[in-house]
């Protein structure tokens, strides 16, 4: 009887898994970069652009176009470089070596957004204030290096836990990340009525602060498969060879096509939801912050739940469930006639957002051989960032072309994302269940 009492329960084993230093420091980096993602990408940068440009229904749509195209520009840079990052991982076995400087550059660019957002030079370029142009420029730099660092960060998951525990670790990381959203919103009280740029510098500081545990506590594993004396751009040769071997990796390439469409909808919604809620549904900035808090709590809960669903049902089926939920959330937002509809849409989207990252990251690890895992994470990022160009470009073009229709232009733009989600869902349904790579 005494022996039974001393035997650790499954719950205690799970808790000890989550709170080992490598896993906790890895999760805290999700905490850190989600502060950037929510504060800059989703809330305060779009609000800043809206304040600077929007003045009526037509200019509100032009502001949406600026936001969309800035996001597309950052994604274009990622399309060019993210596949090479994975090759760098496979060649050198190093992840932290590159993740740290990329993070620091992202932090620095975010800081500079705050500097120029608060400094009106008085000069203009193309009828726009130079300071506004510089904020947009540093936003593109910050977003590019933020997403670049994530290629190395995501690839670390295979180093910190057993394969059977990866769905739970992934879910834990995403959930901790969304707690970071709540901490990031602590900057809101210092933001004045017309001063969203005041959030940029505090966000940069928080991003750096909570990145430090991973900087110091994570160690790259020893590897014997290091290839020296090869140039950075020669990595494209490795990528071309992998594409030539596509038949051997049919499932993973099929998933990347599906992810292309699903991420298209996700990333564009993240970038545009603040402006859409304000101009279409009539949310004030404070009301949107509250909505975002509710959506974040939904993401935290959904991330934990889908960690267990993924472990029980498999990553493919879990991604199908998430895709259906995303489709319903988008439909609800497109048809929303009052705030109640949008509250429901925001909650469903929050669950879908966190859960897609949990399931897709796990799926990549399950399907890829270890010696090419970095390369496939790079291609995974490539797939996501190509979609992050096309989605915002389509959205911004629709709001630009149909700007004279006022808010209907934004409804049409958001509705286009439903088509992309449906395509991704169909591809996932037609896929066979995954066979785990040993």
Q: What is the pLDDT of residue 311?
A: 82
Q: How far apart are CA 242 and CA 246, in angstroms?
A: 6
pLDDT of res. 384: 67
| 32, pLDDT greater than 60 | yes
Residue 138 scores a pLDDT above 90: yes
How much of the chain exceeds pLDDT 70, in percent?
79
Higher local confidence (pLDDT), 432 or 126: 432
What percentage of the chain exceeds 90 in pLDDT? 18
- What fold is seen in the domain 21-219+235-430? Growth Hormone; Chain: A; (1.20.1250)
| pTM exceeds 0.75, yes or no | no
Per-residue pLDDT tens over the stretch 357-400: 778 877 877 777 776 666 676 677 666 667 667 777 788 888 88
Q: Is the pLDDT of residue 205 over 70?
A: yes
In this predicted structure, what is the pLDDT of residue 381?
Answer: 67
Q: How far apart (Å, rounded) are the C-alpha atoms in residues 234 and 172?
A: 36
**What is the pLDDT, as a whole number, of residue 72?**
79
β-pairing, 124-125 vs 128-129, is antiparallel
Quickly state the pLDDT bin for 418 (edges 50, 70, 90).
very high
Task: Kindly write down the DSSP assignment for every residue of 238-288, as one continuous string.
Answer: HHHHHHHTGGGGHHHHHHHHHHHHHHHHHHHHHHHHHHHIIIII---HHHH
Q: Residue 193's pLDDT is what?
A: 61
44: Cβ contacts below 8 Å, ≥ 6 apart? 191, 196, 197, 199, 200, 203
**Is the per-residue pLDDT at 209 higher than 70?**
yes
Residues 6+ away with beta carbon under 8 Å from 81: 148
User: What is residue 218's three-state secondary structure?
Assistant: coil
Closest CA to 212 of 125, 320, 103, 130: 103
pLDDT in the model for residue 141: 94
pLDDT tens-digit map of 247-274: 677 788 888 888 888 988 888 887 778 7
Pair of tokens at residue 121: 């030079």
Output the CA–CA distances (angstroms, integers) from residue 41 to 35, 45, 196, in the order listed.
10, 6, 12
Burial 213-230 (b: 16+ CB within 10 A, else e): bbeeebebeeeeeeeeee
pLDDT over threshold 70, residue 192:
no
What was the pLDDT predicted at 18?
64
Do 163 and 366 contact (CB within 8 A), yes or no?
Answer: yes
Do residues 249 and 70 lie in contact, with contact meaning Cβ atoms separated by under 8 Å? no
Residue 5: pLDDT band with limits 50, 70, 90: very low
Domains in the chain: boundaries: 21-219+235-430
Q: How far is residue 282 CA from its own chain's centroid?
A: 26
What are the phi and psi torsion angles at 135 (to 5°)? -60, -45
Phi, psi angles (nearest 5°) of residue 414? -70, -35
Structure tokens at 136: 């947009």
Nearest partner of 255 among 265, 263, 267, 244, judged by Cα: 263
Q: What is the largest CA-CA distance in the chain?
A: 80
């Amino acid at each position: 009887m005494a022996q039974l009492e001393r035997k650790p329960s499954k719950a205690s084993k799970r808790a000890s898994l989550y709170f080992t230093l490598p896993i906790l420091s890895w999760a805290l980096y999700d905490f850190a970069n989600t502060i950037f993602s929510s504060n800059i990408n989703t809330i305060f940068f779009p609000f800043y652009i809206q304040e600077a440009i929007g003045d009526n229904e037509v200019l509100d749509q032009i502001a949406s176009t600026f936001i969309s195209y800035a996001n597309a520009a950052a994604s274009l840079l990622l399309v060019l470089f993210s596949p090479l990052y994975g090759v760098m991982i496979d060649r050198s076995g190093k992840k932290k070596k590159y993740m740290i400087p990329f993070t620091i550059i992202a932090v620095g660019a975010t800081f500079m957004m705050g500097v120029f957002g608060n400094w009106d030079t008085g000069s203009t370029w193309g009828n726009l204030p130079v300071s506004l142009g510089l904020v947009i420029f540093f936003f593109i730099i910050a977003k590019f290096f933020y997403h670049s660092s994530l290629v190395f960060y995501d690839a670390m998951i295979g180093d910190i836990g057993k394969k059977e525990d990866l769905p739970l670790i992934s879910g834990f990381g995403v959930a901790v990340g969304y707690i970071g959203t709540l901490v990031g919103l602590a900057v809101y009280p210092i933001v004045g009525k017309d001063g969203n740029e005041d959030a940029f510098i505090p966000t940069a500081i928080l991003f750096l602060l909570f990145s430090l545990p991973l900087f110091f506590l994570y160690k790259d594993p020893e590897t014997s498969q290091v290839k020296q004396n090869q140039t950075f751009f020669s990595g494209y040769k490795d990528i071309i060879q992998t594409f030539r071997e596509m038949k051997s990796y049919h499932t993973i390439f099929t998933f990347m096509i599906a992810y292309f469409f699903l991420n298209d909808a996700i990333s564009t919604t993240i970038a545009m939801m603040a402006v859409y809620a304000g101009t279409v549904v009539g949310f004030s900035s404070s009301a949107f912050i509250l909505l975002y808090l509710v959506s974040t709590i939904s993401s935290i809960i959904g991330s934990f739940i889908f960690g267990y669903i993924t472990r029980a049902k498999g990553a493919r089926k879990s991604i199908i469930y998430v895709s259906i939920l995303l489709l319903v959330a988008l439909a609800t937002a497109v048809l929303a006639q009052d705030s109640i509809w949008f509250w429901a849409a925001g909650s469903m989207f929050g669950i879908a957002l966190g859960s897609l990252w949990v399931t897709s990251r796990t799926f990549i690890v399950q399907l890829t051989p270890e010696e090419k895992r970095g390369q496939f994470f790079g291609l995974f990022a490539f797939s996501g960032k190509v979609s992050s160009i096309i989605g915002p470009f389509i959205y911004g073009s629709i709001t630009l072309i149909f700007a004279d229709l006022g808010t209907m232009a934004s409804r049409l733009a958001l509705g286009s994302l439903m088509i992309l989600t449906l395509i991704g869902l169909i591809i996932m349904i037609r896929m066979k269940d995954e066979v785990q790579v040993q």
